[in-house]
Amino acid sequence: MIGRLRGTLAEKQPPHLILDVNGLGYELEVPMTTLYRLPSVGEPLTLHTHLVVREDAHLLYGFYEKRERELFRELIRLNGVGPKLALALMSGLEVDELVRCVQAQDTAALVKIPGVGKKTAERLLVELKDRFKAWETVPGMASLVVEPRAGGAVSSAENDAVSALISLGYKPQEASRAVTAVKEDGLSSEDMIRRALKGML
């Protein structure tokens, strides 16, 4: 099991990145909450990781905080929740928002996430309520507030933002409309993704 990687951020194409660890490039997929906090390409980075082994692939997921990885692991233990849906949930709702959503049994917030219908949302909230009881007593569990990092815009920022939203399960037209509605000169792809997600949820 690969539990943590420390290296240099070599490539960043939401929601994927490549982390160079002593010349070996690890490709990881990250939730948007982690993406917003990444440094610039070429800067050092440490990520907590989770390896999913399938018959046809070994998939590595990266998280800025250990708490994010713990949440990911809780989600994929649930019936019918795979890594893709777990990342979509974590990208649409920050950790503290998801905890509050479970406490309030708020299905309306969950059904806005791609791939989550009303029945799925109701089942997830019931199953997560018991699992989150321990989380609610942990100091700082619900205090992860993610702020976007400032960064220079790149020519492909808009395309990267649209691609990231599509990878989360949004339809291409939805993703394109959402990004177009929030784009401004100088915005990084991370900022566009963050604003677009907020606009859709």
Q: Could you tell me if residue 118 is left (phi over 0), alpha (psi between -120 and 50 degrees) or otherwise beta?
A: alpha
pLDDT at position 201: 65
Nearest CA to 197 out of 117, 97, 182 is that of 182
DSSP symbols for 60-99? EEEESSHHHHHHHHHHHTSTT--HHHHHHHHHHS-HHHHH
By CB neighbour count within 10 A (0-12 exposed, 13-18 middle, 19+ buried), where does 140 fall? exposed
What topology is assigned to 157-199 in CATH? Helicase, Ruva Protein; domain 3 (1.10.8)
Cα separation of 180 and 3, whole Å? 37
pLDDT at position 69: 92
**Cβ pair 2, 148 in contact under 8 A:** no
What topology is assigned to 4-63 in CATH? OB fold (Dihydrolipoamide Acetyltransferase, E2P) (2.40.50)
pLDDT at position 10: 96
pLDDT at position 59: 92
pLDDT at position 137: 44
Cα separation of 120 and 127, whole Å? 11
What's this model's pTM, rounded to 2 decimal places? 0.70
pLDDT at position 39: 92
DSSP symbols for 94-162? -HHHHHHHHHHT-HHHHTTSTT--HHHHHHHHHHHHHHHHHHHTSTTTT-----PPP----TTHHHHHH
What topology is assigned to 66-144 in CATH? DNA polymerase; domain 1 (1.10.150)
Domain borders along the chain are: 4-63, 66-144, 157-199
pLDDT at position 145: 35
pLDDT at position 179: 85
* b/e 39-67 (16+ beta carbons within 10 angstroms → b): eeeeeebebbbbeeeeeeeeebbbbbbeb
Q: What is the pLDDT along the chain (201 residues), one digit of tens a residue?
A: 788 999 999 999 888 999 999 999 999 999 988 988 899 999 999 999 999 988 888 899 999 999 899 889 989 988 888 998 999 888 888 888 888 888 888 888 888 888 888 888 888 888 888 777 655 544 444 433 333 334 433 347 888 888 888 877 787 788 888 888 888 877 888 888 888 888 876
